[in-house]
């Protein structure tokens, strides 16, 4: 199993429209072979110093996949290509962290 943390930088004022498109795509992703978890999240203001503050224009996707091959297939799935096209003008960048349990 692998875990994925994807942080998507969304343009100011575009978080809600972005989430609407993203959430509409979630059922298709959850139906993919190997998908264990796929969930958009937003920062919570905790006041904890290590957090470093809330990022108001970042949507963090928490994912779990059975394997790296499943993740690679996900990234080129037709519904993901359509999602990326629909949101391309709403975002400014993506960072990805892939981990595995030890």
> Span 43-50, mean pLDDT?
93
Residue whose tokens read 């969930």:
39
Give the least confident one: 19-28, 47-56, 82-91.
47-56
Give the pLDDT band of residue 7 (cuts 50, 70, 90): very high
Q: Outline where 9-96 has alpha helix (H).
A: 15-30, 68-75, 78-87
How is the chain split into domains, by residue range?
2-99
Beta bridge partners of 39: 62
- What CATH architecture does domain 2-99 belong to? 2-Layer Sandwich (3.30)
Alpha-carbon dihedral sign for residues 52, 53, 56, 59: positive
């Amino acid at each position: 199993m692998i875990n994925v943390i994807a942080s998507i930088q969304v343009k100011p004022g575009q978080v809600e429209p972005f989430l609407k498109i993203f959430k509409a795509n979630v059922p298709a992703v959850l139906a993919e072979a190997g998908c264990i978890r796929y969930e958009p999240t937003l920062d919570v203001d905790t006041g904890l110093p290590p957090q470093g503050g809330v990022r108001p224009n970042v949507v963090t996707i928490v994912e779990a996949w059975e394997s790296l091959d499943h993740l690679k297939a996900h990234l080129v799935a037709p519904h993901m290509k359509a999602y990326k096209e629909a949101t391309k003008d709403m975002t400014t960048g993506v960072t990805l962290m892939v981990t595995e349990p030890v």
